[in-house]
């Protein structure tokens, strides 16, 4: 009996007979073109791309990148680093634990797309390609060369994320089993997994700190883009750059680090968010930040109903409205028919309790329904709330909400003598009105995250997941389905009401038109549900990220006018096509979309 030996291969070494890239260029030449093109892309950003400063960003200066050139510089540098890492350059192997070829394609595509978008924008706005300087032509040429070189590299089937930071208990056991199966597949394929030496604890914490600082920098840059072309370029570079880093396996390794230090990561994330107002010189972008937190908090509450319990609620924004109206009626507004002025803590309790009561009243008769029927009933509740608020104007009904005029003149909050409506100086920084509410909303978001984590890991949380996966089987195992679903509905409604109390004071006015099922701007029920599905159902970070993107992107795409929703819809369709499990998916949900696609490959390797 002879023993067959196999030669260990790196992730970037294609096996015999493996598929090649899209074009017929040999892989070594393609890798050289991609790496060299990335380096030349970096150099091209130090040249002038146009002769006039009529195009925003001042792209006329030699030796100093500006505007969109900075984004091209970042994309080109990432392409160069990944290209060098694919050669096994010492000191860069940590950047590509899962291989560099697949990531190099997306990095080169990011540099190409951002560069050509800039060149086309200059030509369209200034009246032709004659307005380009040699630097613009050079950048367009070298990014095309880099992209063609990257497309010559062999395609790799990406492995699903082996780890979910929100998984506990049985999910961790499944993660260990998945790791063991990955080792078996590597042995059957004749490859040797690259061993990783664990970092010391202090180094892992430093990595987490660096990642959080980078996230804060990227968010601050994106929210502070001064003109439309720069924001579009930012979306292109950030989206394709993140995809490239994900294909390297680096994002997965960072997720493992954050999972080992969950408390440190959560504390650091909120600390990084608290630093955001100090990076702003006025309230222009702090305003967007506070609305993002309100939207994200409500989406996280909806995630309990949809993500954990599996109940499709299409009228969830009504609970936000109930909390906002309840708080505005008792907060001393001159438009309120009740001549009372509760302190903030009492107004918060009133808003959360009112939403809780409405959640129970609506859920009790309707939660015996399932699927589409439940969705239709909740959609009807959302419309009933809006119509009722319109009719309580003293003409069609009792004078409670002032009808379409709403409750106006809601005073700013004052907590322990701290007036949220006036600027304050903290450590030499002037913190304006919206920054004050940003800190308050950040604290409320922390409370909601704590409630979500504790409830998700509790006995009732496991019952929610069981109901979501198979309600009939859960009922057969002795779970009281109606009671469990009613608790989910009540908890989700009270969290939405909690956010609504702050929204009422931030906006000064509460009107029925703010709480529609669908509209051009969030929050509304359609956007809230999209934030949960887009971010990742059943996770904590998913709805927070999804809500931030769904609020920020439409706000920045207003220059598209009537085409705003069209462009936004196309982006959602593409994302759901290529990432249906969400941006930060739950491991179980990710397997639902990818295990069928991975099974034939695994069986083929086994049969070989």
The β-bridge relationship of strands 418-419 and 424-426 is: unpaired
Is pLDDT of 452 > 90? Answer: no
Q: Compute φ and ψ for 132, nearest 5 degrees.
A: -85, 140
More confident site: 32 or 188: 32
> Using CA atoms in the order 408, 558, 299, 322, what is the torsion angle rounded to 10 degrees?
20
Is pLDDT of 536 > 50? Answer: yes
**pLDDT for 177:** 54
**pLDDT for 21:** 59
How far lies 198's CA from each of 113, 180, 192, 205, in Å? 37, 18, 18, 13
Q: Mean pLDDT, to the nearest integer, of 201-218?
A: 88
Quick one: DSSP state of residue 304? I
Is pLDDT of 590 > 70? Answer: no
Give residue 111's pLDDT band: very low, low, confident or very high (50, 70, 90). Answer: very high
**pLDDT for 178:** 53
How far lies 606's CA from each of 149, 159, 176, 603, in Å? 33, 17, 20, 5
CB count within 10 Å of CB 169 equals 9
Q: Where in the chain are all domains bearing CATH 1.10.3470? A: 275-571
SS3 state at 421: coil
| C-alpha span between 158 and 160 (Å, rounded) | 6
Give residue 521's pLDDT band: very low, low, confident or very high (50, 70, 90). Answer: low
Helix axes 250-260, 228-248, angle to 10 degrees: 80
Is pLDDT of 116 > 80? Answer: yes
Q: Mean pLDDT, to the nearest integer, of 463-492?
A: 86
**pLDDT for 143:** 95
Q: Compute φ and ψ for 426, nearest 5 degrees.
A: -130, 115
**pLDDT for 541:** 83
SS3 state at 155: coil
Mean pLDDT across the chain: 80
Is pLDDT of 13 > 50? Answer: no
Q: Mean pLDDT, to the nearest integer, of 26-31?
A: 87
Q: Mean pLDDT, to the nearest integer, of 24-51?
A: 90
Range among 74-83, 325-334, 554-563 rated most confident:
74-83
Q: What is the pLDDT of residues 409-438, one digit of tens each?
A: 888 888 877 878 787 777 777 777 888 888
**pLDDT for 93:** 79
Q: What percent of the chain has pLDDT over 90?
A: 15
Burial class of 152 by CB neighbour count within 10 A (0 to 12, 13 to 18, 19+): buried
Listing DSSP states for 394-407 in one string gives SSSS-BSS-GGG-B
Residues 6+ apart with CB under 8 A from 22: 151, 152
| C-alpha span between 261 and 478 (Å, rounded) | 36
**pLDDT for 7:** 40
Name the residue with tokens 């069986």: 603
| C-alpha span between 93 and 456 (Å, rounded) | 37
Least confident piece of the model among 132-136, 143-147, 573-577 = 573-577
Q: Is the dihedral of CA 214, 231, 439, 421 positive or negative?
A: positive
**pLDDT for 249:** 85
**pLDDT for 546:** 86
The answer to whether the beta carbons of residues 251 and 514 sit under 8 Å apart is no
**pLDDT for 599:** 40
**pLDDT for 594:** 59
SS3 state at 419: strand
Listing DSSP states for 306-320 in one string gives IIIT----S-THHHH
Burial class of 92 by CB neighbour count within 10 A (0 to 12, 13 to 18, 19+): middle
Least confident piece of the model among 93-97, 214-218, 270-274 = 93-97
**pLDDT for 233:** 92
Which of 79, 82, 89, 81 is CA-nearest to residue 142? 79
**pLDDT for 22:** 62
Size of the chain in residues: 608
**pLDDT for 36:** 94
Which of 519, 516, 552 is CA-nearest to residue 534? 552
| C-alpha span between 83 and 219 (Å, rounded) | 27
SS3 state at 290: helix
**pLDDT for 602:** 37
Is pLDDT of 568 > 60? Answer: yes
Q: Mean pLDDT, to the nearest integer, of 495-519?
A: 85
**pLDDT for 160:** 43
Is pLDDT of 180 > 70? Answer: no
The answer to whether the beta carbons of residues 307 and 537 sit under 8 Å apart is yes
Q: Mean pLDDT, to the nearest integer, of 50-74?
A: 90
**pLDDT for 408:** 86
Is pLDDT of 175 > 70? Answer: no
Q: What percent of the chain has pLDDT over 70?
A: 84
Cis link prior to 523 (omega < 30° from 0)?
Answer: yes
Q: What is the pLDDT of residues 290-312, one digit of tens each?
A: 888 888 888 888 888 888 888 88
Listing DSSP states for 196-265 in one string gives -PPPPHHHHHHHHHHHHHHHHHHHHHHHT--SHHHHHHHHHHHHHHHHHHHHHTHHHHHHHHHHHTHHHH
**pLDDT for 183:** 54
Q: Does domain 275-571 have CATH number 3.30.230?
A: no
SS3 percent helix, strand, coil of the chain, rounded to 5, is 65, 5, 30
Is pLDDT of 350 > 70? Answer: yes
Is pLDDT of 10 > 70? Answer: no
Is pLDDT of 18 > 60? Answer: no
Q: Where are the alpha helices (DSSP H) in 508-586?
A: 525-535, 541-556, 564-578
Is pLDDT of 608 > 70? Answer: no
Q: Compute φ and ψ for 400, nearest 5 degrees.
A: -120, -50
Least confident piece of the model among 10-24, 144-158, 554-568 = 10-24
Is pLDDT of 488 > 50? Answer: yes
Q: What is the pLDDT of residues 286-295, one digit of tens each?
A: 888 888 888 8
């Amino acid at each position: 009996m002879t023993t067959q030996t196999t030669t260990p291969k790196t992730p970037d070494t294609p096996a015999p007979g493996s598929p090649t890239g899209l074009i017929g260029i040999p892989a070594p030449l393609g890798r050289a073109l991609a790496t060299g093109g990335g380096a030349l892309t970096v150099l091209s950003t130090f040249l002038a791309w146009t002769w006039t400063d009529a195009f925003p960003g001042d792209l006329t200066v030699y030796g100093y990148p500006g505007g969109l050139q900075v984004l091209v510089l970042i994309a080109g540098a990432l392409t160069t680093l990944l290209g060098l890492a694919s050669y096994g350059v010492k000191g860069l192997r940590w950047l590509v634990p899962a291989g560099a070829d697949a990531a190099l394609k997306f990095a080169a595509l990011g540099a190409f797309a951002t560069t050509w978008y800039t060149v086309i924008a200059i030509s369209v706005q200034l009246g032709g390609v004659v307005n380009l300087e040699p630097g613009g032509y050079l950048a367009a040429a070298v990014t095309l060369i880099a992209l063609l070189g990257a497309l010559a590299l062999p395609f790799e089937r990406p492995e699903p994320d082996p780890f979910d930071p929100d998984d506990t208990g049985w999910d961790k056991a499944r993660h260990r089993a998945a790791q063991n199966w990955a080792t078996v597949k590597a042995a059957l394929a004749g490859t040797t997994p690259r061993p990783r030496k664990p970092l010391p604890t202090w180094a892992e914490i430093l990595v987490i700190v660096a990642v959080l600082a980078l996230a804060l920098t990227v968010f601050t840059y994106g929210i502070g883009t001064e003109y439309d072309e720069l924001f579009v370029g930012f979306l292109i570079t950030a989206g394709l750059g993140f995809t490239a880093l994900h294909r390297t396996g680096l994002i997965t390794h960072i997720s493992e680090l954050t999972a080992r230090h969950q408390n440190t990561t959560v504390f650091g994330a909120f600390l990084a968010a608290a630093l955001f107002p100090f990076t702003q010189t006025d309230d222009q972008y702090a305003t967007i930040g506070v609305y993002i937190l309100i939207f994200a908090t409500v989406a996280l509450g909806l995630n309990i109903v949809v993500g954990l319990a599996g109940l499709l609620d299409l009228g969830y924004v009504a609970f936000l409205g109930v909390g906002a109206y309840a708080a505005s009626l008792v907060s001393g507004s001159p438009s309120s028919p009740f001549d009372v002025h509760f302190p903030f803590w009492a107004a918060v309790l009133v808003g959360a309790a009112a939403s809780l009561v409405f959640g129970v009243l609506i859920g009790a008769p309707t939660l015996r329904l399932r699927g589409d029927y439940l969705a239709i009933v909740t959609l009807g509740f959302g419309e009933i709330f809006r119509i009722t608020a319109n009719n309580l104007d003293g003409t069609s009904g009792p004078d409670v909400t002032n009808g379409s005029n709403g409750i106006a003149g809601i005073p700013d909050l004052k907590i322990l003598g701290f007036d949220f409506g006036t600027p304050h100086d903290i450590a030499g920084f002037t913190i304006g009105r919206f920054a004050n509410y940003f800190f308050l909303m950040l604290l409320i978001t922390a409370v909601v995250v704590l409630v979500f984590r504790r409830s998700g890991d509790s006995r009732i949380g496991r019952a929610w997941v069981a109901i979501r996966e198979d309600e009939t089987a859960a009922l057969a195992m002795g779970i009281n389905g109606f009671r469990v679903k009613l608790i989910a509905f009540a908890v989700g409604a009270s969290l939405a009401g909690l956010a609504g109390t702050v929204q009422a004071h931030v906006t000064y006015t509460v009107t029925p038109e703010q709480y529609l099922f669908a509209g051009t701007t969030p929050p509304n029920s359609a956007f809230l549900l999209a934030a949960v599905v887009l971010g990742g159902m059943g996770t904590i970070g998913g709805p927070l990220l999804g809500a931030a993107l769904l609020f920020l992107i439409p706000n920045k795409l207003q220059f598209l006018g009537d085409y705003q929703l069209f462009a936004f819809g196309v982006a959602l369709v593409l994302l759901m096509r290529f990432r249906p499990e969400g941006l930060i998916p739950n491991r179980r949900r990710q397997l639902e979309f990818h295990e069928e696609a991975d099974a034939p490959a695994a069986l083929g390797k086994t049969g070989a």
